[in-house]
Structure 1
Amino acid sequence: MRAPERGALPLWLATTLGRAYGRVTEVVQGLSDEDFARPTRCSGMAVGPLLVHLLYDAERALAAFASPSAAAPDRDFVSYWKDFPPHPGGEDETAFVRTVASAYRRPSDGLVRHWRELSEAAVRAAAFALVDKDQRIETQGHVLRVQDFVATLIVEATVHHLDLVVDLPDAPEPDYEALQVTARTLDGLFGPEAWDVIAWDTTTYVLKATGRLPLDDDDLDLLGTHASRLPLIG
C-alpha cells in the first residue's frame, strides 16, 4: 500500500510549531509532582528529564533565531537529521537532564512554568524570523533556511510528545499538522522506494520509523531489505 501523500510543509510553520509546543504544555501542565517521575519512551529519562531536554531545545531555538547567517545553507529539514545517530545523546546527556530536572523541587510548577515561558518565546521568535523566507540561521554547526529549521523543531517536539505520553493515558495526542511535518521528514529520509510499501497510520509510522515501536514479523515481510534502515532518527 502506498503511503499517504504528505504534501509540502505548511505555509504557516510558526503556527504549527505553536500548536506542537502547546500540546506538550497540555500534556504536562496538569501533572502532579510525582507524575514527573513516570517513564517515557526515552531510555533513562522520566517525564521531568525529557521535558528538560525539550526546554533546552526551545532555548537552542532562541539562540539560533538570534544568530542569522550569510552563508549558504548546507542542510534542509530532511538532511539535518542525517547527522544524528539513531540513539543520540548517550549517558552524558541523560545524566545532565536528570540532574537539571532534580533541581526543580516542584516540577509541576517551576519546570512547567519555565518550559511554557521558553517555548512560547521560541514560537514568537519563529514567527518574526519567518517574515523573511530567505533568512538563514546557524545551529549545531550547520546553516539552514529558517523554515527548514522550524520544521526540525516541530519534529523534535512531536516525537518527544509521543515519548512523554507512554505512561500518561489521558494525555492529548500531538497536533495533526505537526505529525504530518514529522512524517514528511521521515519520508524524505526513507525515500519513495521504501515508503511506498508502508501501510501504517501516521502515528505508527512515526513510532516505528524512529525506533519507538519494534517491527513485527508482518512489518519485516512488508519492508523487506528496507527494514534494516530503521530507525531513521533517534
Structure 2
Amino acid sequence: MTADHVTRSHPAEVLRAAYEAFAAVVRPLGDEESWLPTDCAGWAVRDLVFHCAGDAQRALVALHTPASEPADRDAVTYWQDWAPDPVGAANGRRWNRVGASMFLDFRQLKELYLETTAATVTAAAAARSDGRVTTQGHVLTAGDLMLTLAVEASIHHLDLVTRLPTAPGPAPTGLAAVRATLDGLLGRPVPLEWGDEHYARAATGRAPLTVAERLALGPDAERLPLFS
C-alpha cells in the first residue's frame, strides 16, 4: 500500500479499516492480557485502550460539531502543533492510568471501546468529507479529521501489539495514511527504504535512529520525532 493510494481512498473507509484492525486486536483480549505493557511509556494495554476510546469519543463529538469558519488545519498540518512536553506527557499518563483503573473488569472497558469506535465509523460514513468540523481548537474538513484519527489509531496499534506477537497488524491503508502524513510534515518522501511500520516508529520517536539513518536524513534527523 502506497501513500498515493490513500489519497484515492475515501477517508471514512481509511478510518473504518484502521478502527476495525485495532478492534480485531482488542476484541479477544482478557483481563490478564490487559495488564501487559505497550510501547507507550507507562501504559498497559488497558490504559492505551482507554485513551483510544476517548479519541473515538472526541471524533464522535467533532463529527456532530459543524463549523462555519474556514479550515485552519488539514490532515498534515493538524500535527504541527505538537511539541515535546515532558510535564504534560507525565500528567497525561497519570490521568489516563487513573481513568482506565476505574474499570474493575477489562470487559467493561473493551465494550466501551468497541461500541464507541463502531459508532464513530458509522458517523464518519454518513458525514460529508468536505464539511467542516471543530476539534481541539481547530477547524478541519471532516475528511481530514478522519485521516488524523486513522493515523493515531494506526500508530497506537503498533504500540498495542508490542507484547502480543500473534495479534494482527494495522490496516495497510491506515499505515499509508501515516506515511503520507509523515512525508508531508518532513516536506519530502523519506529518503530511506523504510517499510511503513518502521517509518511510523522511527519518525514518532518509538525506534532510535542508527548512524547510517541519521546520515541519510541529514539535518532532518534533528527534526524527529515529527510528533509522538
Task: Say whether the fold is shared (TM-score over 0.5).
Answer: yes
SS at match of 1:9: helix
TM, length-normalised to structure 2: 0.94
Provide the residue aligned with 1:96 in structure 2.
95
* Aligned-pair CA distance for 1:86: 4.4
Amino acid at match of 1:211: G
The residue identity in structure 1 corresponding to 2:169 is E
Pick one of 169, 176, 182 that aligns with 2:172.
Answer: 176
Q: Deviations over 1:105-129 (max 9, x none)?
A: 110x111111000000001111111
Quote the Cα distance in structure 2 between the aligned partners of 1:123 and 1:204. Answer: 27
The residue aligned with 2:43 is 45
Residue number in structure 1 paired with 2:161: 165
Instruction: Give the RMSD, CA atoms, in angstroms.
Output: 1.5
Compared CA separation, residues 138 and 96, structure 1 to 2 (3 A)? same
Q: Is the aligned partner of 1:214 residue 2:213?
A: no
1:146 and 2:142 aligned? yes
Residue pair 1:64, 1:138 contacting (<8 A) in 2 also:
yes
Contact 1:53 1:97 in 2 (8 A): yes
Are residues 200 and 11 of structure 1, via their aligned partners in 2, closer, same or farther at CA, if it must alter by over 3 Å?
Answer: closer
Mark the runs of 5 or more structure 1 residues left unpaired by the alignment.
none
Q: Residue type of the partner of 1:101?
A: A
TM-score (norm 1): 0.92
Aligned to 2:133: 137
Kindly state the Cα deviation for residue 30 of structure 1 after the two structures are TM-superposed. 1.4
5+ long unaligned stretches in structure 2: none
**Partner SS state of residue 7, structure 2:** coil
Match of 1:27 in 2: 25
Q: Which runs of 4+ in 1 moved over 6 A?
A: none
Contact 1:87 1:233 in 2 (8 A): no
* Displacement of 1:32: 2.0
Q: Deviations over 1:66-86 (max 9, x none)?
A: 100010000000000001124
**CA distance, structure 2, for counterparts of residue 11 and residue 32 of structure 1:** 34
Cα deviation 1:106-155 (Å, max 9, x = unaligned): 10x111111000000001111111xx333100000000011111000000
Q: Give yes or no for the alignment of 1:111 onto 2:109.
A: yes
Task: Output the CA distance in 2 between the equivalents of 1:90 and 1:196.
Answer: 27
Q: CA deviation at 1:95?
A: 1.3
- 2: CA distance, partners of 1:101 / 1:196: 36
1:60 pairs with one of 43, 49, 58: 58
Match of 1:200, SS? coil
Name the SS for the 2:3 alignment partner: coil
Shift of 1:196: 4.7
CA distance in 1, matches of 2:25, 2:226: 26
Output the CA distance in 1 between the equivalents of 2:114 and 2:71.
30
2:199 corresponds in structure 1 to: 205
